[in-house]
Amino acid sequence: MTTPVWQQPEIIRWIQIVSDSYRQLLGKDLIDSANTPEQLSKALFYVPFVLVSHGTQADPIFNYGNQTALQLWSLSWDEFIKTPSAASAEPVARAERALMLKQAKEQGYIENYEGVRISSQGKRFLIKQVTLWNLTDESGQKCGQAATYPSWEWL
């Protein structure tokens, strides 16, 4: 039997970076019901809101998606973490998405973004109340961006 995603040491460490970066930039916690890194990783994997992140590649690849994100995009974990994050938006929406990522990179974070995304099965949905923030590791190095949003609407 394979280890659940949220129990993998590299994911536990990554979620700590995601959570710490959110707290540093926004002055609040993503969730406040977790006392250990393992509890935090499990809680964020199963929360009813979307949490995703990507690395710093020129064309960033998703490196994390919680259960809600995987269901929304109709992808397995292994499929999701091989997906360029730009592919989550339709080609016509990619320029707007790139501008949003650039703005967050310069400001540290943005809030209340809305945009249309597309699942792996071609279903379109509007993401709402998006918070996007830069990720910084323990040594202060930029290591990606993460986004969370509580709601979406199928189009």
* pLDDT in single tens digits along all 155 residues of the chain: 688 999 999 999 999 999 999 999 999 999 987 789 999 999 999 999 999 999 999 899 999 999 999 999 999 999 999 999 988 888 777 788 888 888 888 899 999 999 899 999 999 999 999 999 999 999 999 999 999 999 999 99
Would you put residue 108 in left (φ > 0), alpha (ψ -120 to 50) or beta?
left
User: What pLDDT was estimated at residue 99?
Assistant: 83
- Say how far apart CA 124 and CA 110 lie, in whole Å: 23
- Say how far apart CA 85 and CA 24 lie, in whole Å: 24
**Structural domains of the chain, ranges and CATH numbers in brackets:** 5-154 (3.30.450.20)
Token pair, residue 15, equals: 């979620």
Residues facing residue 132 across a β-bridge? 110, 147
- Say how far apart CA 79 and CA 77 lie, in whole Å: 5
